[in-house]
Structure 1
Amino acid sequence: MIWSSRTSHIVAPRRSVPAGTRIYAIGDIHGRLDLLDSVLARIDKDTDVHPPVSNAVRIFLGDYIDRGPDSKRVLDRLVNHCVTHPTVCLMGNHEAFLRQFLINPDVLTVWRNCGGLDTLLSFGLSPKIETNAQDQRELASELDRILPSSHREFLGGLKQYFICGDFFFVHAGVRPGICLTKQSEDDLLWIREDFLSSEDNFGKVVVHGHTPVLEPDVRANRINIDTGAYATGRLTCLVLENDKIRFI
């Protein structure tokens, strides 16, 4: 489902990141390696044309896997990218599914409806369209056996949120009325309507994904950059520098 959005005519108040810092924030990838590679190439070109003063950080907002065809290779690319570039990778609800599946195979009953079978296929597994409890245990055991240690470390090191200057980066959003650093993991990964409909000042501008929109949704209290990559072919990258925002 793609939610409606308000876009270019809604301008956030001037907020800024620290002097000398440039942020590249990338929305939900969902197994689209082709779009990830395109965004990384655009970032490289942007840094060549507009060299950052000192520090350029790439922030990925989670949901790297599921739905699209190349979840494993997306994880491969991100693992390598974290080695070569200053990078922050956040946890998405889909990564949480994968981690839970390794511990509790019954999670596949829900995860399959969110694209989990596409991820298993990308690892070379052959899940049945309909699986029973034994099938789920066998799939979890096999995934646990073949999951690269680099992927395991990557998934285990994902952050729930990241703060830079006047911006709070998170996968899904925050619960209004609760301190940003006291949010529950469930809300950080899953919240929708209570957050999306809120006009509260959260203390910082929340940059998030999780809920697909047709265009980046820039509001006074939040910026949604999940443009439904797996379905629309559009992976959005937000650039923050000083008190300016732009998209590449």
Structure 2
Amino acid sequence: MIWVVGDIHGMFDPLKTLLNRIKMDIYSSENIKNAKIIFLGDYIDHGESSKEVIDLLLELKEEFDVVFLAGNHEDLLLQYVNESDLFKTYGNVWFKDNGAKETIVSLSPIKNLCMKNFSGRDGQNIKWNNLKIENKYLEFFNKLKYSHIEQIGTGEEVFKFVFTHAGINPEKDIDKQLDVKNYDDFHSYLKNNKEWIENSIIWMRNMPERPIENYIFINGHTPTIGIDKYCSCIGNYDVQSGKPFFNFGSKEAFYNRNGSYYYFSNVNKEDLISINIDTGAILGKYLTAIKIPDNLIEERKIQVIQVPTSGIRRSGYCKIENYYIKVPYCSTS
């Protein structure tokens, strides 16, 4: 079985509750050894407990087979640590309402940091090494993967899942995008292919609207309350529901939710293009995990666990494409 966890953003208590429920499910299973937990990135920023979140994930690594993917927020942090040219011109938005202050205050043992230095983009003048942050946290960020693939089934009946933080760019070579495995790979790919970062696997917001090489893409990044801005085929999905978004290639392909399970036995697997599980945890909605069972071929159902979050970590007017909407939602969340 594979459990997949969406964007956490420094919210320790909801994550702990979610992981306890996942552990209960795994330990009650007959196939514990095959259990895997995949995290889609954005562990840090906005929430007040980035340090505690990472500590909990490092503990979990000692207990289960886990995959930690990088989100755009971790990439911004690594740009900052590496003092990259891209950070100077773009990534410094991390210090402008993108959660750098909350993360640094959480990770750094220096408790008398001058908060005025973290306003706007001025924080780029504060060096990482001066923050006295333990090496284990930087090691965690440096080891993050940028893509991951899993396959369930054999022969003609196969589900091929691609896990990335954000969407895939259907206009670019898919294999090249999925060859990106770490920070260096990612930034080399951007440079060599002259790719703008917001069209990449950690930033892309548009949902694919057709099947791509028989893959099913699982991602977070774009809160589902705004998913109709990036995908026209939403079927019977309620964008205000706070539920994960199952993206079908046909407007006639409806999915059926029954309790904590989503069934898609009424459609071919080729109709299911992607699943977005960023259900707006930082917007006061839910932290979400989905379970892909070993017998998915037979059962055609995916289990969902959600933990409500209290309070909005991000708010205000945020520009989305060519208009403004008054929702707690930003283009870099």
TM-score bracket for the superposition, by shorter chain length? 0.7 to 0.9
Q: Provide structure 2 residue ranges, at least 5 long, that are not aligned to the other structure.
A: 152-159, 181-185, 187-196, 225-241, 248-271, 306-333
Match of 1:92 among 55, 65, 71: 71
**Using CA pairs below 8 Å that are at least 6 residues apart, which structure has the higher relative contact order?**
1
Aligned match of 1:216: 244
CA–CA distance in 2 between the matches of 1:44 and 1:207?
Answer: 21
Aligned match of 2:302: 245
What secondary structure is seen at the aligned counterpart in 2 of 1:226?
coil
CA–CA distance in 1 between the matches of 2:32 and 2:99?
Answer: 40
- Return closer, same or farther for 1:131/1:223 CA change in 2, 3 Å cut-off: closer
Moved more, 120-129 or 83-92: 120-129
- CA deviations 1:72-115 (Å, max 9, x no partner) are 11111112222221100001010011111122274674102211
Counterpart AA for 1:155: F
- CA deviations 1:137-180 (Å, max 9, x no partner) are 3353423xx22221121111111111001100000011114443
RMSD: 2.2
Aligned ranges for residues 95-174 of structure 1 at < 5 Å?
Answer: 95-104=74-83, 106=88, 109-112=92-95, 113-124=97-108, 125-128=113-116, 129-130=118-119, 136-143=124-131, 146-165=132-151, 166-174=160-168
CA–CA distance in 1 between the matches of 2:285 and 2:49?
Answer: 14
Aligned match of 2:250: none
CA–CA distance in 2 between the matches of 1:132 and 1:225?
Answer: 30
Q: Is the 8 Å Cα contact of residues 108 and 116 (structure 1) preserved in structure 2? A: no
TM-score by length of 2: 0.62
Aligned match of 2:232: none
Aligned ranges for residues 63-82 of structure 1 at < 5 Å?
Answer: 63-82=42-61
Moved more, 49-58 or 202-211: 49-58
Q: Provide structure 1 residue ranges, at least 5 long, that are not aligned to the other structure.
A: 1-21
- Return closer, same or farther for 1:54/1:234 CA change in 2, 3 Å cut-off: same
Higher helix share: 1
* Corresponding position: 1:182 with 2:176: yes
- Return closer, same or farther for 1:54/1:76 CA change in 2, 3 Å cut-off: closer
Counterpart AA for 1:136: Q
- CA deviations 1:12-38 (Å, max 9, x no partner) are xxxxxxxxxx00000000000111101
Moved more, 166-175 or 237-246: 237-246
TM-score by length of 1: 0.81
CA–CA distance in 1 between the matches of 2:32 and 2:105?
Answer: 43
Aligned match of 1:3: none
CA–CA distance in 1 between the matches of 2:67 and 2:223?
Answer: 21
The structure that has the greater radius of gyration is 2
* Corresponding position: 1:32 with 2:11: yes
Aligned match of 1:42: 21
Counterpart AA for 2:292: L
How many positions carry a matched residue from both structures?
222
Counterpart AA for 1:212: P
Q: Is the 8 Å Cα contact of residues 108 and 136 (structure 1) preserved in structure 2? A: no
Aligned match of 1:192: 205
What secondary structure is seen at the aligned counterpart in 2 of 1:72?
helix
- Return closer, same or farther for 1:109/1:239 CA change in 2, 3 Å cut-off: same
What secondary structure is seen at the aligned counterpart in 2 of 1:235?
strand
- CA deviation after TM superposition for structure 1 residue 215, in Å: 1.4
Q: Is the 8 Å Cα contact of residues 170 and 208 (structure 2) preserved in structure 1? A: no
